[in-house]
Amino acid sequence: MHLKFLMMIEQILIGKTKEAVKALYQLDATPAQIQLQNTRKEFAGDITLVVFPFTKVSRKSPEATATEIGGYLQANLAEVESFNVIKGFLNLSIRKEYWLGFLTENYGTEKFGFQKTIESQPIVIEFSSPNTNKPLHLGHIRNNLLGFSLSRILQAAGKNVVKVNLVNDRGIHICKSMLAWQKWGNSETPESGGLKGDKLVGKYYVIFDKYFKDEIAAMVSEGVNPDEAAKKAPLILEAQQLLQKWEAGDEEVIGLWKKMNGWVYDGFEKTYKTLGIEFDKTYYESQTYLLGKVLVEEGVQKGVYTRRADGSVWIDLSAEGLDEKLLLRSDGTSVYMTQDLGTATQRHKEYDPEQLIYVVGNEQDYHFQVLKVVLKHLGCAWSDSIYHLSYGMVELPAGKMKSREGTVVDADDLMQEMFDTSEAMARELGKIESFDDEEAKNLYRTIGLGALKYFILKVDPKKNMMFNPAESVDFNGNTGPFIQYTYARIKSVLRKATEANFELAIHPSVSILAEEKELLKKIHDFPATLTQAAEMHSPAIIANYAFELASEYNRFYHELTILKEENLPSRGLRLCLSELTAKVISNSLWLLGIEVPERM
């Protein structure tokens, strides 16, 4: 039997099942009615068809319906060897020839499961979006890892992807740091202070907050209402004056702003490089907020936005179940919504994207609901293409982070801690005995970053999570190092096979044992898993698949001999299985932004 692998077995079964129910019951089945899943391990079979959707038209019991469809598939589809029925579930066993053909076709394929990029409207995905008043922290790490991984997943699923960053480089936040530096900085620079530029600016943001709170406390002790004190404390009024001067183009203020933001950008770039993150384009709010202000004025002219007596501009969204939203302050300065209106409109004009994805924490869910509606009121039908990838917060056992109080988990410090932890673990386990210093250092970084990225990405983006650095570097369990070690183990097997001149080949006569078939089936799931991850916008689907595949290979490795196998067809099959498993693990981790070590 000669089988072509233009389609995976699921696609073949969907087509033939449609044919079966048409012939048997005169039903034109929809894709939603044909439900396929992997057969549960306690039952015989490889793929299960759920037949309950067809019992209404068959007018027979689920068992009888499954038996009829199974008989049709076995008689008319060469790939189906046999079937059994458990209640309303039709369990299909796929012929050995299909599995051998699948492995023969793919074990030498570098990018098995990846689709060619289709030239079409791009998907623009915005992530990172840092403020220039503080360095990147643990929350930013989750944002960056999610955005970067999703961009790779969408790319591997055949999408044209553009990765963009929006730097929040203007506004009251940076004015606070600027004012504190003017008052208490004594002309400190990153060089004189021995600090990365982003950390230096963040230091003055914390200093501002300390003195600001002292002023509030003093006013409250004199009988001023706390809310009123927060609005009228001298420091906040000075910061607001700085913002107004900035928007008016004051040369001195602009000069200080450029200098301090320049320090921050240098610091950000070093962090991104260590984390392995890059962008296709970076936008700056200082360059887009004016477009937002123009759009707000257009909305006022069209009568969809309202200017109040104090000069502020609002939109009433109560008809959409939302509230009134401020679009422009009474002093003429913009708010985040103003800036996002400008940025979204600019990206639409530049790319006309199929989808515009914002990777932003779930505390901004309401903001993005409002953004879509405000754009729609302006007549922007394309606002429906906006998708908010909302993710939960990251916490440590110590609790929540607060950047203005200086209690954040700094991204650079966390990565260094991961490198140190992975070094200690690797030394303890004796995994660097044959490594020189440079190789060992690279291994610590590979394991440390792999541990950090995997631990964060394996959690569904929508869920809050607790990050445990020590647990993430464990070489056992659902961790990045476990999967990396499995890859290195396979590469060691393949190197020894090459040294012994063993052949990687599939012999048609070879038998497939249960352990081999389970591993084959798990590899076979990869393309569908990638498609699902792209559709669900969830790197967690890939992460947990990679763990399941690594676990399946380790069972295969421990239960069967490979290099010492005397049956040549079986040895060749197992080596080919090992080769393809290594490639799929490597590709899966690449989708997560994780490197794999060739040896450990």
Contact 593, 145 (CB under 8 A): yes
Q: Which pLDDT does position 2 carry in this prediction? A: 33
Q: Confidence class of residue 215 from pLDDT cuts 50, 70 and 90? A: very high
Query: What residue type is assigned to position 407 of the chain?
Result: T
| The amino acid at 317 | L
Q: How wide is the angle at C-alpha 122 spanned by C-alphas 118 and 126, nearest 5°? A: 140
pLDDT at res. 1: 30
Cα–Cα distance measured from residue 506 to residue 578, given in angstroms and rounded to the nearest whole number: 13
> In the chain, which segments carry CATH 3.30.1360.70?
9-94
In this predicted structure, the answer to whether residue 4 has a pLDDT above a threshold of 70 is no
Q: Region 347-364: what's the mean pLDDT?
A: 96
Q: What is the DSSP letter of 385?
A: G
Lookup: tokens for 530: 């990638």
**Contact predicate 425/473, CB 8 Å:** yes
Give the chain's end-to-end CA distance (angstroms, integer): 42
Task: State the SS3 of 560-584.
Answer: CCCCCCCCHHHHHHHHHHHHHHHHH
- What pLDDT does 473 receive? 86
Instruction: Name 465's bridge partners.
Output: 394
Residue 5 has pLDDT above 60, yes or no: no
Helices 96-106 and 568-591 sit at what angle, rounded to 10 degrees?
Answer: 60
Integer Cα distance of 481 and 503 in angstroms: 30
In this structure, are strands 123-126 and 355-361 parallel, antiparallel, or unpaired?
parallel
* Geometric angle at alpha carbon 560, from 102 and 510, rounded to 5°: 40
pLDDT at 7: 57
* 401 band by pLDDT with thresholds 50, 70 and 90: very low
Helix H or strand E encompassing 93 = strand 89-94
Helix (DSSP H) and strand (DSSP E) numbers for the chain: 22, 14
Residue 404 pLDDT more than 60? Answer: no
For the chain, residues classed under CATH 3.40.50.620 are 127-405
**pTM metric for this prediction:** 0.91
Range(s) within the chain of domains with CATH label 1.10.730.10: 417-591
CA 320 – CA 237 distance, rounded (Å): 35
Rounded CA separation 585/551 (Å): 11
Given its phi and psi angles, is residue 543 left (phi above 0), alpha (psi -120 to 50 degrees) or beta?
A: alpha
For residue 85, give the 3-state DSSP assignment.
strand
The three state secondary structure string of 92-155 is: EEECHHHHHHHHHHHCCCCCCCCCCCCCCCCEEEECCCCECCCCCEHHHHHHHHHHHHHHHHHH
Average pLDDT for 532-540: 97
Confidence class for position 540, pLDDT limits 50, 70, 90: very high
Task: Output DSSP code: residue 39.
Answer: P
In the predicted structure, residue 390 carries a pLDDT above the cut 50: yes
Q: Which helix (H) or strand (E) holds 36?
A: strand 35-38
Strand partners, 315: 325
Residue in this structure with the two tokens 């639409």, named with its chain if needed = 348
CA distance 150 to 352: 20
DSSP reduced 3-state for 396: strand
pLDDT category at 407 given cuts 50, 70, 90 is: low
pLDDT at 402 over 90: no
Strands (E), 346-395: 355-361, 386-391, 394-395
For domain 127-405, the CATH architecture is 3-Layer(aba) Sandwich (3.40)
What integer is the mean pLDDT of 177-200?
96
Alpha helices in 26-95 (DSSP H): 55-58, 62-76
Per-residue pLDDT at 143: 97
Name the nearest CA neighbour of 480 among 515, 516, 438, 445. 445
- Show the tokens assigned to 80: 């189906």
Report DSSP letters for 524-571, one per residue.
Answer: HTHHHHHHHHHHHT-HHHHHHHHHHHHHHHHHHHHHS-STT---HHHH
Residues 53-69, mean pLDDT to the nearest whole number: 96
Which candidate, 418, 482, 487, places its Cα nearest to that of 138?
418
Tokens found for residue 117: 């990029």
Helix H or strand E encompassing 90 = strand 89-94
Token pair belonging to 292: 């937002």
Q: Which residue's entry shows tokens 């320090």?
A: 263
Count of beta carbons in the 10 Å neighbourhood of residue 435: 16
Percent of the residues in the chain that have a pLDDT greater than 70, as a whole number: 97
CATH superfamily of 417-591: Isoleucyl-tRNA Synthetase; Domain 1 (1.10.730.10)
Tell which CATH classification among 3.30.1360.70, 1.10.1040.10, 3.40.640.10, 3.40.50.300 matches the domain 9-94: 3.30.1360.70
What dihedral angle (degrees, nearest 10) is formed by the CA atoms of 100, 104, 108, 113?
Answer: -60
pLDDT the model gives residue 184: 97
- 315: tokens are 């939109």
Beta strands at 161-167 and 123-126: parallel, antiparallel or unpaired:
parallel
Q: What is the pLDDT of residues 278-291, one digit of tens each?
A: 999 999 988 888 89
Sequence-distant (6+) residues with CB within 8 A of 28 are 18, 22
**Planar angle of CA 511, 516, 519, nearest 5 degrees:** 150
Q: How many angstroms from the chain centroid is the CA of residue 278?
A: 14
Cβ atoms < 10 Å from Cβ of 100 = 20
pLDDT of residue 57: 95
